[in-house]
Amino acid sequence: MSTTTIRLSEELKARVAQAAERAGTTPHNFILQAIAEKTEMDELSARFHDVAEERYAEIMSTGKAIPWSEMKEYLVGRVAGARVKRPVAKKMR
């Protein structure tokens, strides 16, 4: 395992120590968990954007999409617990 040095202001160091105490862990472990959580959030965000770009490219190449009115009706039905037919993408151009 490698070592990385970070410099914290005294104020931030005190806040981290207090937060770690509330969490029942050490400041070191608290910082490691924070870095791991932030890294995971960034990875999830990057994947979300990648999927969105892929789907947008597919819409642009096929011209197929689901009209919002149909999608909204489907979602409202699903939330209400109704058995609703899934909308099908169709040529929009």
pLDDT of residue 32: 97
Alpha-carbon span 41 to 91, nearest angstrom: 35
Angle (CA) 28 40 10, round 5°? 30
pLDDT of residue 50: 98
The structure's pTM equals 0.72
For the chain (93 residues), the mean pLDDT of every run of 10, in chain order, is 95 98 98 98 98 96 95 97 95 81
pLDDT of residue 35: 98
Q: Where are the domains of the chain?
A: 9-62, 63-93
pLDDT of residue 92: 84
Contact 90/71 with Cβ under 8 angstroms? no
